[in-house]
Amino acid sequence: MHVLDEADYVIVGSGSAGCALAYRLSESGAADVLVIEAGGTDAGPFIQMPGALSMPMNMRRYDWGYRAEPEAALGGRRLQTPRGRVIGGSSSINGMVYVRGHAKDFDHWAQTGAEGWAYADVLPYFKRMEAMEGGDPLWRGLLGPLNVKRGEMRNPLYAAFIEAGRQAGYPVTEDYNAAAQEGFGPMQHTIWRGRRWSAANAYLRPALRRANCRLRTAEATHVVLENGRARGVAVKRGHRRLGEIRARKEVILAAGAINSPLLLLRSGIGPAAELAAAGVEPRVPRAGVGKNLQDHLEVYVQQACTQPITLNGYLNLFAKGQIGMEWMLLHTGHGATNHFESCAFIRSAAGVDYPDIQYHFLPAAIRYDGQAAAEGHGFQVHVGPMRSKSRGEIRLTGAGAEAPPSIRFNYMSHAEDWRDFRQALRLTREIFAQGAFDPYRGPEIQPGAAVASDDELDRFVRDHAESAYHPCGANRMGAADDPLAVVDPQCRVIGVEALRVADSSIFPRVTNGNLNAPSIMTGEKAADHILGRALLAPERLQPVLEPDWESRQR
């Protein structure tokens, strides 16, 4: 195969983890780093303007265009699975919400075989990457590349949501990424000076200013293996095979939750029988590749608003034009926020030790992808359980990179999922019924007051649940002797030399909340493993848990 280029480290993917890897691996100047990205530029307002967040995920030029298989429990619906095909990867098309995850999420990782990834181990990496505006330096990073801030919460509905939570008996937390996640409070964003602060803006652009880091536009098709070692990556552009990019030291897959498992499978690394059935020669049998796929599902609970103060009043072309013009000139106004400015994490029941329901509050009644708005004015929360026991898989449908993958999440395949969603919906209605919303609350738009019984709520979930776009887990990290683990705790692919995976596909279990932050952290920590540097010293801070969690829901 024709050798196009070579570097010490070849990183596949310029997404959340890949950008962090490029920055850290090239930081000393000693190593030559090359990043392969299939997508094009992230320049332009559709990506850089936070208020336009619904647009890039619906634009084929920025998205891989994946759709999951029909889901039996969701009435056979096929849900979109947007993944960024652009500089910055999914950090360039996501909702810009910044959630680390709960401390106990990472402790669970360590307990299930990901030794060295407990909360005490990952906390210093979260702090290294952050520049949190107004953060407590005990818990938060203040000088990192990734700018994080709270929204301005100018719309009174944001404060009403937080106050309604307090009135319902829940705590209020000013920083859910610090000591206490549980409670209602302001949402945090990767937005800086009115622009999307993607991993590309935070990490990749500074890295590319160094002489030892470069970017190559091409699509990786498979890892080139020789005698059990990763020697490079085969690439193509369109339907034309270009050749191979060689790695003198290591190949690192940071292609994301869907594409990293696919690259392993297309390279002959995975379940041997499934590979053979798809026409791929099994090179390294690894039963766990493509398994353990997880996501968060959510529904929108929508209320009519009796005052004309919601974003539904800005959906006409003239208003959108004004918003766009202000953002282009000043980087201020409605274009400078993602509009998710208050949120909550609560526990669904007594006996649940840390939050398992997440809320994103929005002062509008509209689908997340911007495709359908309610008539008149309204507001909504996106709500869903955080720790479903349902697991899916990614499989090949053919040997070549042109064959579309089979992505099946098996949403709602565990009996507890239905119970958890019913509870989340009933708790949401109780929150919206609090006095804080009295000046604003009109009739319930969705599900609608008539939807009340278990069967009715189940039908609503079946017909309306949507992905929160948090796929992960299909290259699970675990102990090297775990037959279903794909990578070891140093992110090395088990059974292959000089090949690592570092992105959300290695998460043993999905974390509480949105996945951009833990994905970047994974890239940060993996870089130290790859370079053989001493890891940052663990920080053994104790998160706040509800002391009476065994006997009280709030």
**Which three-class secondary structure state does DSSP give residue 276?**
helix
Work out the average pLDDT over 111-126. Answer: 98
96 is an annotated ligand-binding site residue: yes
Mean pLDDT, the chain, rounded, equals 97
**pLDDT (tens digit, 9 = 90+) per residue, 8-65?**
999 999 999 999 999 999 999 999 999 999 999 999 999 999 999 999 988 999 999 9
Q: Does 374 score more than 80 pLDDT?
A: no
What DSSP assignment string belongs to 71-119?
BGGGTTB--EE--B-BTTGGGGTS--B-----HHHHHHHHHTT-TT-SH
Contact (CB, 8 A) for 448 and 88 = no
What DSSP assignment string belongs to 373-412?
B-SS-EEEEEEEES-----BEEE-SSSSTTSPPEEE--TT
Work out the average pLDDT over 309-319. Answer: 92
State the pLDDT at residue 370: 64
Q: Does 372 score more than 70 pLDDT?
A: no
141 is an annotated ligand-binding site residue: no
> Is this model's pTM higher than 0.95 or not?
yes
Place of tokens 């890891």: 535
**pLDDT (tens digit, 9 = 90+) per residue, 159-193?**
999 999 999 999 999 999 999 999 999 999 999 99
Is 470 a catalytic site residue? yes
User: CATH for 3-531, among 3.40.1410.10, 3.40.1260.20, 3.40.50.880, 3.50.50.60?
Assistant: 3.50.50.60
Work out the average pLDDT over 503-528. Answer: 98
For the chain, give the percent of residues with pLDDT over 90. 96
**pLDDT (tens digit, 9 = 90+) per residue, 445-498?**
999 999 999 999 999 999 999 999 999 999 999 999 999 999 999 999 999 999
Q: Which of 339, 464, 470, 529 is catalytic?
A: 470
Structural domain boundaries in the chain:
3-531
Q: How far apart are the first and last CA of the chain?
A: 62
Whether the bond between 538 and the residue before it is cis, its omega within 30 degrees of 0, is: no
Q: Does 222 score more than 70 pLDDT?
A: yes
Q: Does 225 score more than 70 pLDDT?
A: yes
Q: How far apart are CA 175 and CA 182, in angstroms?
A: 10
94 is an annotated ligand-binding site residue: yes
State the pLDDT at residue 283: 97
Nearest to 179, CA basis, from 130, 128, 119, 121: 119
- 438 residue type, one letter: D
- pLDDT-derived band at 368 (thresholds 50, 70, 90) equals low
Contact (CB, 8 A) for 279 and 398 = yes
Q: How many Cβ atoms are within 10 Å of 287's Cβ, its own excluded?
A: 15
Strand partners, 413: none
**pLDDT (tens digit, 9 = 90+) per residue, 394-445?**
999 999 899 999 999 999 999 999 999 999 999 999 999 999 999 999 999 9
